[in-house]
Amino acid sequence: MTNSIEELETSDVILLTGSNTQEMHPVISTFIKRGVVSGKTKLIVVDPRRIDLVDFAAVWLRQKPGSDVAWLNGMMNVIISEGLYDKKYVEQRTEDFDALAKAVASYTPQRVEEISGIPAADLIDAARLYAAAPAAAIAYAMGITQHINGTDAVKSVANLAMLCGNIGIESGGVNPLRGQNNVQGACDMGCLPNVLTAYQNVTVPEVREKFAKYWGVDRIPEKPGLTIVEIINAATTGQVKGLYVVGENPMISDPDLHHVKEGLQRLDFLVVQDIFLTETAALADVVLPASSFAEKEGTFSNTERRVQRVRKAVEPPGQARPDWEIICDISSRLGYAMKYPNAEAVFDEMTGITPSYAGMSYERLDKGGLQWPCPTKDHPGTRYLHKDKFVRGKGKFHAIEWIPPAELPDAEYPFLLTTGRVLFQYHTGTMTRRSEGLNGCAPECFVEVNREDAARLGLANGEMVKVTSRRGSLFAKAQIGEVMDLGMVFLPFHYSEAPANNLTIAALDPQAKIPEYKICAVKLEKGAGAGA
């Protein structure tokens, strides 16, 4: 996030897209709702589902999944053609505006309506509302990114924010809402295939030399690694022989689960380090029992870049140990001695090689969280980014063209499936599905179907439905209403007995290599034999 969570409450306009915030980030949604209820904030919701926050919205744009680049370009088309953009900001703080203006010129509201299904008049209203705001924030989540053009969609979001001068100001910005509690921290610490800590690229010789010297090794590999889907693909062909999975459950969370299982079973050696015996751990040659958040010391870095202390409340059960201790022992046995007296020593090493964390310490964090960048010991942390200038100097506009999804409905598979989460279950259910109370609230998988589609298919509410794609099938209970538009269905992906990712396609964004979880073609049938 360029800005802070609390700033959402004081934004003049919030454009929310690709995020069912009330269920996925309920705390953040309270800031949004408070801003709206106070009369300060106008909310624009762009979502194919009628999520709860639509009730708080001044404008709701119901787009077809996969059309995000088109409607974003359409908003910019209106803003530029009507002269509503921040001309001073564009001139002084950005570059390549002419290329952007040329690219979006063809995305008239009428053309965008054909692509996205958003009525032209509604798109114009949303564009004018966003452009007129003194401070407008954009918040998004994986509904924007989990597409084959997800990177392009994020660039388009940045284009829109810069066009109206909304980056580098309080209560504005571009604010991705992270899907898990320490995703931001993991990325900050280099848990990505192409960077070391603080996003220092492994392909840069000076970066590798700095880390090699700091760690006392001869060299750091210069070749970027693989993303998770690429790893599975390489496992199926025998190029990857061994895999070490820490705190992840790809047998539920990854697309095309038949393909995932095939890849994992072809490995020579699979190690899983987790707090429970997950569906992935059940396939492992070795399972290493880890400790949960309440059983270890450390830090979490949340979605607003805030680094916070985590303190041990109870001892780990049985043979469970903190992740860092397990990793250190394995490293030492492999020939590189990693010895630290405690988690604080690990954090001190991190700050020594991570410029954005350099001013942090446990002593400072004990007094409250700090938002990076925090480069020095007397720095207060940073509420919002890019205040006076961008890291690269001027903000760069990108000329982006919309491309259609990898798989669209046809005569055989006439429905468009999108997937997501529900409030009472979390990710692959590793923890929440062991909670009697949460399972009582959300016990089983369901498929949301539009009322007219259900009537045409003869489906009754609560009836079992067989959902089939080109990759697999599952059974789920029909949940009939107006949440979904005609021709669209929704499945939560938490349930191992009805894994939505049996159906999804492993088509990748060519840049970020993220799978297209949010769109594939399916068919629905009455669930005869659904008890199987």
Q: Which of 119, 154, 177 marks a domain boundary? A: 177
State residue 531's pLDDT score: 42
Q: Are residues 234 and 107 in the same domain?
A: no
Q: Are residues 160 and 224 in the same domain?
A: no
CB atoms within 10 A of CB 120: 16
pLDDT tens readout for residues 419-433: 999 999 988 888 888
462: left (phi over 0), alpha (psi -120 to 50) or beta: left
Q: Are residues 191 and 169 in the same domain?
A: no
Q: Are residues 49 and 152 in the same domain?
A: yes
Q: Are residues 165 and 190 in the same domain?
A: no
Taking residues 101-126, what's their average pLDDT? 98
The answer as to whether 138 is a domain residue is yes
Q: Are residues 142 and 202 in the same domain?
A: no
Q: Are residues 158 and 214 in the same domain?
A: no
By residue range, what is the domain housing residue 10?
5-177
State residue 125's pLDDT score: 98
Instruction: Evaluate whether 304 touches 1 at the Cβ level (below 8 Å).
Output: yes
CA distances for 421 relative to 51, 165, 190, 322, angstroms:
12, 33, 27, 28
Cis amide prior to 373 (ω within 30 degrees): yes
Residue type present at position 32: I
Contacts of residue 9, defined as CB under 8 A and 6 or more positions apart, other chains included, come to 31, 32, 34, 35, 38, 40, 41
Instruction: Evaluate whether 49 touches 141 at the Cβ level (below 8 Å).
Output: no
With 80 as the cut, is the pLDDT of residue 183 above it?
yes
Helix (H) or strand (E) segment spanning residue 488: strand 488-492
Nearest Cα residue to 363 out of 350, 385, 344:
344
Q: Which of 142, 177, 212 marks a domain boundary? A: 177
pLDDT tens readout for residues 226-270: 998 899 999 999 999 999 999 999 998 888 888 999 999 999 999
Question: Could you give the CA distance from residue 408 to residue 67 in angstroms, rounded to a whole number?
Answer: 12
| Phi, psi for 383 (deg, rounded to 5) | -70, -45
How does residue 530 score in pLDDT terms, banded at 50, 70 and 90? very low
Residue type present at position 379: H
Instruction: Evaluate whether 303 touches 5 at the Cβ level (below 8 Å).
Output: yes
Contacts of residue 216, defined as CB under 8 A and 6 or more positions apart, other chains included, come to none
Instruction: Evaluate whether 273 touches 246 at the Cβ level (below 8 Å).
Output: yes
The answer as to whether 493 is a domain residue is yes
Q: Are residues 26 and 114 in the same domain?
A: yes
Average pLDDT, the chain: 94
| Six-digit token string for 159 | 């284009």
* Alpha helices (H) along 254-306: 257-266
Q: Cα 17 vs. chain centroid, distance in angstroms?
A: 12
Question: How many structural domains comprise the chain?
Answer: 3
The answer as to whether 112 is a domain residue is yes
Taking residues 129-141, what's their average pLDDT? 97
The answer as to whether 389 is a domain residue is no
Q: Are residues 125 and 71 in the same domain?
A: yes
CA distances for 366 relative to 183, 287, 295, 298, 369, angstroms:
21, 34, 18, 11, 8
Q: Which of 177, 194, 210 marks a domain boundary? A: 177
DSSP H helix total and E strand total for the chain: 19, 19
How does residue 528 score in pLDDT terms, banded at 50, 70 and 90? low
The answer as to whether 391 is a domain residue is no
CA distances for 473 relative to 90, 468, 469, 500, 532, angstroms:
50, 4, 6, 9, 12
Nearest Cα residue to 158 out of 397, 476, 377:
397
Q: The CATH number of the domain where 71 resides is what?
A: 3.40.228.10
Helix (H) or strand (E) segment spanning residue 244: strand 242-246
How does residue 532 score in pLDDT terms, banded at 50, 70 and 90? very low
CA neighbours within 13 Å on the CB side: how many for 444?
11
pLDDT tens readout for residues 289-302: 999 999 999 999 99
The answer as to whether 388 is a domain residue is no
Instruction: Evaluate whether 493 touches 500 at the Cβ level (below 8 Å).
Output: yes
Q: What is the DSSP letter of 515?
A: B
pLDDT tens readout for residues 289-344: 999 999 999 999 999 999 999 999 999 999 999 999 999 999 999 999 999 999 99
Output the pTM of the full model.
0.92
The answer as to whether 58 is a domain residue is yes
State residue 513's pLDDT score: 81
| Phi, psi for 97 (deg, rounded to 5) | -65, -40
Nearest Cα residue to 257 out of 95, 495, 418, 70:
495
The answer as to whether 385 is a domain residue is no
Q: Are residues 221 and 340 in the same domain?
A: yes
Question: Could you give the CA distance from residue 286 to residue 271 in angstroms, rounded to a whole number?
Answer: 5
Q: Cα 136 vs. chain centroid, distance in angstroms?
A: 21
Q: Are residues 82 and 212 in the same domain?
A: no
Question: Could you give the CA distance from residue 371 to residue 359 in angstroms, rounded to a whole number?
Answer: 11
| Six-digit token string for 491 | 């499945």
Nearest Cα residue to 14 out of 35, 38, 39:
35
CA 348, 349, 350 angle in degrees (round to 5)? Answer: 90
With 50 as the cut, is the pLDDT of residue 382 above it?
yes
Q: The CATH number of the domain where 513 resides is what?
A: 2.40.40.20
Q: Are residues 123 and 155 in the same domain?
A: yes
Q: The CATH number of the domain where 331 resides is what?
A: 3.40.50.740
Instruction: Evaluate whether 59 touches 125 at the Cβ level (below 8 Å).
Output: yes
CA 422, 428, 431 angle in degrees (round to 5)? Answer: 90
